[in-house]
């Protein structure tokens, strides 16, 4: 059996551990210890309580388990690099990493800094935690896996097959950079607005917000063009981006977006990984980004008040 370490026991980390553990040796790594018995609620409503192997970073250092074939980093984007730094003494620098973060911050930095292969994954699997011992797999999705420089196709294929076998449908792709930026574009149009206004995604359709969504998408579409990111669904420019954003808003109308959940829990948001790369790109290409910058400033103020 291959060995997978999962660094960051949040919802996606625990979903991965539950899914992989019947077919691979898995270890969940985090700062705090977790109850050994963990419950998974499947999308079909079935509840399964199973023992999952978990270790704190301190325990890992004193008693490292078998070297991993893959280390999945499933932390929030802002702490991915520091989390990796916490375990680098325990793994070979040739170990393949799999980055599951939102946005486009951790991926280029870790790809540049890590000597071994770095795969990136973007997923639409829906999952949320119900406490220290429970995760709900809210809905089936799809995961795309690839690396930013298309140098590790065979490894990406191996991982995609393993994930699929584990019940998480996955495909190896050669355009993971495009896919990460496309997801970032949608997140940028939805997350800051709902987080700053305390509303569910569907409320963005109201007149009070629709114009603001359009103003964000206008800036984002120009940045995507400059970055060479194709508009979604073979569409054209701003209109195609806006259509995708409205489609996601409708499909997730009842969702409390991840950034709103962070603000409500008084946690740092992923603004640095979502708005940060867009603002940086706009500045590099001499493009307007007043709306994105204003949202970033407002979110920074909100975070400072925590
Ligand atoms: O991915 C999301 C998130 O919450 O981060 C969206 C697409 C906004 C759905 O809620």
Q: How many A from CA of 231 to the centre of ligand 1? A: 19
DSSP structural state of residue 168: -
Are residues 101 and 185 both part of a single domain? no
Q: How many domains are contained in the chain?
A: 2
CA-nearest residue for atom 2, ligand 1, is 257
**pLDDT per residue as tens digits for the range 180-215:** 999 999 999 999 999 999 999 999 999 999 999 999
Q: How many A from CA of 166 to the centre of ligand 1? A: 24
Are residues 40 and 82 both part of a single domain? yes
| Mean pLDDT over each residue of the chain, to the nearest integer | 96
- Per the listing, tokens 């059996």 go with 1
Consecutive 10-residue averages of pLDDT for the chain (306 residues) = 96 98 97 96 96 95 91 97 97 98 97 98 94 94 97 98 98 98 97 98 97 98 96 92 96 92 95 98 98 98 97
Do 215 and 188 touch, CB atoms closer than 8 A?
A: no
Q: How many A from CA of 89 to the centre of ligand 1? A: 34
Domain boundary among the residues 115, 145, 174 is at 174
CATH number, domain containing residue 228: 1.10.1040.10
With 0-12 CB in 10 A as exposed, 13-18 as middle and 19+ as buried, what is 112?
A: exposed
Are residues 137 and 259 both part of a single domain? no
Nearest partner of 248 among 174, 189, 293, 167, judged by Cα: 189
pTM over 0.85: yes
Report the pLDDT value the prediction gives residue 1, as an integer from 0 to 100. Answer: 87
Are residues 241 and 143 both part of a single domain? no
Domain boundary among the residues 142, 174, 206 is at 174
Q: How many A from CA of 258 to the centre of ligand 1? A: 6
List residues bridging with 5 in a β-sheet.
27, 71
CB-defined site of ligand 1, < 6 Å = 186-187, 190-191, 201, 248, 252, 255, 257-258
């Amino acid at each position: 059996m291959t060995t997978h370490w999962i660094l960051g026991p949040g919802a996606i980390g625990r979903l991965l551990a539950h899914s992989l553990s019947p077919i691979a040796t898995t270890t969940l790594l985090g700062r705090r210890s977790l109850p050994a018995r963990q419950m998974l609620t499947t999308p079909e409503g079935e509840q399964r309580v199973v023992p999952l192997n978990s270790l704190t970073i301190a325990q890992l250092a004193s008693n490292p388990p078998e070297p991993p074939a893959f280390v999945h980093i499933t932390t929030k984007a802002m702490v991915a690099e520091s989390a990796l730094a916490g375990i680098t003494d325990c793994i070979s620098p040739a170990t393949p990493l799999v980055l599951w973060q939102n946005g486009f911050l951790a991926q280029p930095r870790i790809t540049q800094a890590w000597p071994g292969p770095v795969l990136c994954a973007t997923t639409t699997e829906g999952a949320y935690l119900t406490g220290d011992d429970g995760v709900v797999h809210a809905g089936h999705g799809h995961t795309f896996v690839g690396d930013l420089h298309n140098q590790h196709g065979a490894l990406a294929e191996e991982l995609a097959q393993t994930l699929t076998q584990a019940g998480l449908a996955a495909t190896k792709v050669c355009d993971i950079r495009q896919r990460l930026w496309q997801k970032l574009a949608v997140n940028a149009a939805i997350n800051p607005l709902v987080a700053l206004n305390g509303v569910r995604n569907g409320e963005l359709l109201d007149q009070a917000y629709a114009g603001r969504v359009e103003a964000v998408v206008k800036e984002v579409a120009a940045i995507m063009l400059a970055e060479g990111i194709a508009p979604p669904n073979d569409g054209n420019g701003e209109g195609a981006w806006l259509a995708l954003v409205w489609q996601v808003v409708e499909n997730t109308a009842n969702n409390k977006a991840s950034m709103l959940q962070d603000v409500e829990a008084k946690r740092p948001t992923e603004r640095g990984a979502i708005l940060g790369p867009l603002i940086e790109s706009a500045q590099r290409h001499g493009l307007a980004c007043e709306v994105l910058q204003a949202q970033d400033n407002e979110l920074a103020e909100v975070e400072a008040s925590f």
